[in-house]
Amino acid sequence: MTAKAILGHRAARRAAKLEATAVRLEALQLPNSGQWLRRAREMALARLNHMGLPDRRDEYWKFTDPNTLLQPEVLPAKILDITDAAMDFVAFDRLKIVFVDGVFDADASDDLSSEGLEIVRLAEAGASDIHWAREFYGTLEAEGQKPVDRPLAALNTVLATDGVVIRVTGKVSRPVSLIYLRRETDAEMILHHLVRVEEGAELTLLENGPGAARLNTVTEAWVADSAALHHVRTQGRDHERRAATHFFAQLGAQSVFKSFTLTANGALSRNESIVWLNGNGGSAHVAGAAMGDGKFHHDDTVFVTHAAPDCESRQVFKKVLRNGAVGVFQGKILVRRAAQLTDGYQISQALLLDETSQFLAKPELEIYADDVKCSHGSTSGEIDADQLFYLRARGVPEEAAQGLLVLAFLAEAVEEIAHEDLAEEIRRKLDGWVSRHN
Amino acid sequence: MLEIKNLHVKLEEEDKVILKGVDLTVEAGKVHAIMGPNGSGKSTLAYVLSGRDGYQVTEGSVTLEGEELLEMEPEERAALGLFLAFQYPVEIPGVGNMTFMRTSLNSIRKARGQEEMSSAEFLKVMRAKAKELKIDAEMLKRPVNVGFSGGEKKRNEILQMAMLEPKMCVLDETDSGLDVDAMRLVADGVNALRDAGRGFLVITHYQRLLDHIKPDVVHIMADGRIVKTGGPELALEVETNGYTEILAEAGAAA
């Protein structure tokens, strides 16, 4: 094909994609909401119409088929282990915010008023014309559409039926815990949260629960100068779940953002993290441990932009895969010209427990500053035979030895959790998974 | 204690025969040393005893206190009381030394139908034994063998041996990579474990370890066989004359 023919082909493909998107979105009803929120939704819809819904031929969706995330009907998913998944973090003193089938449940939730914290439902903020959220809803999502389209995030901004907006003004020691419960096998959940951690403030945000048969969540977070946001999330054992999540975080000077996700099973999970280091000396750690057995497709897609000097970022992702499970990692570090003395680190590793499982990785560095330290690595491999033998020679039975090595493999990701008690909770869950799947 | 009869072993992957009829009996309470040039099959013998994959026994038998060893999994051999101190101890990032040791000890106790050792008791015993080997608390907290010097790794092997109190200890070139002080520490650790109920098989290339761990019997191994057996003086002969003369003499006798 000549260059001209290729361009013609691309233009035709784009036209077809946009047309398909227009057809899909034509009959779309925007959720009832107050004026400014409706305007924000319409702007997101315009963005979405311009970029089109994703398909398998998009470079960013090369490894993960978005089809089941998009098809009009929700594929019913058996309700499994609701209690188990809902039990995460149960021992922690936390402020619980409960959603059932994607709808806020006031009775099951704690009183939302708390010192140093301001929490209201998205709908409530949307109904009030003077709410601060007005200036922010959908803005990080919009910014995150460059340089890569994230149509599912735009779709979320258009359609989100619920969510909370949280403003943190002090050092809040009690974590805010978002709990997603499910009652219907075909429940769909589209939640959009805003989190503003103001200067010098601190928050730990927890998320857990089976959620829905299909879920799409977007969190937009602003971490101001010298503020800290710790995010720990578990995606539970509901095998048929399909999830697309986006976590957008914009960081100020000397701020800290740490996000960790544990994923155990799930038919399809695509977790995107989009982080901007916009102030000097910021620190962003995004990590995940995923374990899949059988019908499991897990995709971590991360984009960290260093826009200011002296910042540090780490991406640490580990996956344990068996019985045909598929793991995907797409991770990028973009260092802008101004971001001198950047320290960027990225590692993605898969432990393949048999020959039927696969790991697909696309690590990327794009660096425009000249004085930076960036490293990345991606590996996939089996259990180390020498380590296994060493353990067995010391009397540890083969299965237990293998379990110990699986946990050891995941340890580096868990270490990214700042709070030791939360890390311990995650280790306990990993331990449980390993002993169930041995 | 340990009885090896006419042991023939080849590599599983290739047609290479390594052991060509090894006969060896280690009695309880005795220290036997195996010396020999590189490639004589010493380390293969150690691995075959411990049950490592990759070797095929084509003939012969090995028993530990009358029990057939060769059919057992490595962990069963450990539970029976066999211990191999590795020539190259393996690094296991992500597994703490303490966790490793406790899992090992309790796995063996469980396999023997004994109760697991409590955390408090374990800590007490481990700390005391570590102290004797001059292993500091910081080292115990680190992942298994990760970032350990050669000497620290070997001391860690001896610590494991002291914790597990095996009946039959096989030390595979435990002296390699050790300086004089480290060797003395390791030897002291081994000597402290010598008693009437325990057998030792010390595999070494050089005589110097045997200055510190005095053997009762010394075997010379060459080309997959024990070619000469004698007392401690045999080790000194190797030191003075090298292997060539002994092998020539053994070859002439054979």
Mean per-residue pLDDT over chain A, rounded: 92
**DSSP assignment, residue A92?**
S
Partners of B95 on chain A (C-beta within 8 Å) are: 404-405, 407-408
Task: Give the pLDDT score at A4.
Answer: 77
Band (pLDDT 50/70/90 cuts) for residue B156 is very high
Partner B contacted by A320 (CB < 8 A):
no
**Nearest-Cα residue of chain A relative to residue B100:** A391
- A408 contacts B160? CB cut-off 8 A: no
- B100 contacts A392? CB cut-off 8 A: no
Give the pair of three-digit tokens for residue A330.
Answer: 């797409």
**DSSP assignment, residue B29?**
T
Looking at CA atoms only, how far is residue A332 from chain B in angstroms?
26
CA distance B10 to B58: 7
pLDDT, tens digit, for every residue of B226-246?
999 999 888 888 888 888 877
pLDDT, tens digit, for every residue of A364-388?
999 999 999 999 999 999 999 999 9
Band (pLDDT 50/70/90 cuts) for residue A83 is low
Give the three-state DSSP class for A194: strand
- The torsion defined by the Cα of A273, A278, A281 and A284, in degrees rounded to 10, comes to 0
Partner B contacted by A213 (CB < 8 A):
no
**Helix or strand run (H / E) with residue B95:** strand B92-96
Task: Give the pLDDT score at B246.
Answer: 79
Q: Do the Cβ atoms of B133 and B97 come closer than 8 Å?
A: no
Give the pair of three-digit tokens for residue B230.
Answer: 């004698």
- B89 contacts A398? CB cut-off 8 A: no
pLDDT, tens digit, for every residue of B116-129?
999 999 999 999 99
Give the pair of three-digit tokens for residue B130.
Answer: 């570590």
Phi, psi of A392 (to 5 degrees): -70, -35
Q: Do the Cβ atoms of A265 and A237 come closer than 8 Å?
A: yes
**Distance of CA A91 to CAs A204, A412, A425, A427, Å?**
15, 24, 9, 14
Task: Give the pLDDT score at B254.
Answer: 47
Mean pLDDT lowest for which of A234-243, A289-298, B21-30, B214-223?
A234-243
Task: Give the pLDDT score at A85.
Answer: 53
- The torsion defined by the Cα of A234, A238, A242 and A248, in degrees rounded to 10, comes to -10
Mean per-residue pLDDT over chain B, rounded: 90
Task: Give the pLDDT score at A80.
Answer: 65
Is pLDDT of A273 > 70? yes
Q: Do the Cβ atoms of A405 and A388 come closer than 8 Å?
A: yes
**Nearest-Cα residue of chain A relative to residue B90:** A387
> Residue B109 is which amino acid?
R
Was domain B2-182+190-253 assigned CATH 3.40.50.720?
no
Task: Give the pLDDT score at B209.
Answer: 87
Q: Where are the alpha helices (DSSP H) in A222-373?
A: none
Partner B contacted by A400 (CB < 8 A):
yes
Looking at CA atoms only, how far is residue A400 from chain B in angstroms?
9
Task: Give the pLDDT score at A118.
Answer: 95
Task: Give the pLDDT score at A84.
Answer: 57
Q: Do the Cβ atoms of A190 and A102 come closer than 8 Å?
A: yes
Partners of B84 on chain A (C-beta within 8 Å) are: 393
- A405 contacts B95? CB cut-off 8 A: yes
- Angle made by CA atoms A304, A195, A53, in degrees to the nearest 5: 60
**DSSP assignment, residue B91?**
P
What is the layout of strands, in order, in the sheet containing B199-204? B82-85, B168-172, B199-204, B31-35, B217-222, B225-230
CA distance A186 to A337: 48
What are the sequence ranges of the domains in chain A? Answer: 31-384
- Collect all residues with Cβ–Cβ distance below 8 Å to A147 and sequence separation of at least 6: none
Task: Give the pLDDT score at A397.
Answer: 95
The label of the residue with tokens 């035709």 reads A12
Partners of A394 on chain B (C-beta within 8 Å) are: 78, 100, 104, 107, 160, 164
- A410 contacts B90? CB cut-off 8 A: no
Band (pLDDT 50/70/90 cuts) for residue A241 is confident
Is pLDDT of B35 > 70? yes
Chain-centroid distance, C-alpha A205: 13
DSSP A359-400: EEEEEEEEE--SS-EEEEEEEEE---HHHHHHHHHTT--HHH
CA distance A102 to A182: 8
- A408 contacts B95? CB cut-off 8 A: yes
DSSP A96-132: EEEEETTEE-TTTSPPS-BTTEEEEEHHHHHH-TT-G
Is pLDDT of B182 > 90? no
Q: Where is pLDDT greater, at B14 or A165?
A: A165
Using only the alpha carbons of chain B, give its radius of gyration.
18
CA distance A222 to A193: 11
- A392 contacts B92? CB cut-off 8 A: no
Q: Where is pLDDT greater, at A218 or B16?
A: A218
CA distance B83 to B167: 8
Give the three-state DSSP class for B152: helix
Q: Do the Cβ atoms of B18 and B12 come closer than 8 Å?
A: no
CA distance B125 to B171: 23
- How many helices and strands (H and E) does chain A possess? 10, 19
Band (pLDDT 50/70/90 cuts) for residue B181 is confident
- The torsion defined by the Cα of A44, A50, A51 and A55, in degrees rounded to 10, comes to 110
**Distance of CA A72 to CAs A23, A27, A68, A263, B66, Å?**
12, 12, 9, 25, 70
Does a cis peptide bond (omega within 30 degrees of 0) precede residue A147? yes
CA distance A286 to A346: 9
Maximum CA pair distance of chain B? 60
pLDDT, tens digit, for every residue of A311-368?
999 999 999 999 999 999 999 999 999 999 999 999 999 999 999 999 999 999 999 9
Percent of chain A with pLDDT over 90: 75
Q: Where is pLDDT greater, at A25 or B55?
A: B55
